[in-house]
Amino acid sequence: MIFWKVLNTVCVVGSCLVLGVAVWLDPDPRGFGTHEQLDLPPCHYLELTGSPCVTCGMTTSFSNMIRLNVVGAWNANPMGLVLFLLTCTMPPWFGHALWTGKDPFRFVAGRLGRWLLPAVVAGLFGCWMLRV
């Protein structure tokens, strides 16, 4: 029981922090590199190959989406838009599980659970292939 409370709390706080950081950062006009405002290094994959990595533009996409700039988010990384929407569902989802004591992953046994993770992974790599 305590495991679920800790997990749910971490997920609520973590997703709220991610959204809060997206508010705080200014989207980079290049469509990538917004994470550098957090004193993180530039993408090594991009520097070495000249092509974006799977997650290039993800922070920029989140930062655009929090400002309701859907076009900017899409141009930065289309999957960033999808993952942003999923991240927005996390505080209420895990908050409800924390409040009720229910298993937050109960949907995994259903049809949605069997397809959600593979669809996200396929979307990430599909978008990456289109961008490269």
Residues 94-129 have pLDDT tens digits of 999 889 888 887 766 667 667 777 888 888 888 887
Asked if residues 61 and 84 have their Cβ atoms less than 8 Å apart, the reply is: yes
Can you give the pTM of this predicted structure? 0.84
Tens of pLDDT along 49-108? 988 888 899 999 999 999 999 999 999 999 999 999 999 999 999 999 889 888 887 766
Q: What share of the chain is helix, strand, coil (3-state, %, to 5)?
A: 75, 0, 25
Asked if residues 11 and 94 have their Cβ atoms less than 8 Å apart, the reply is: yes
Nearest partner of 17 among 73, 85, 90, judged by Cα? 90
Asked if residues 107 and 113 have their Cβ atoms less than 8 Å apart, the reply is: yes
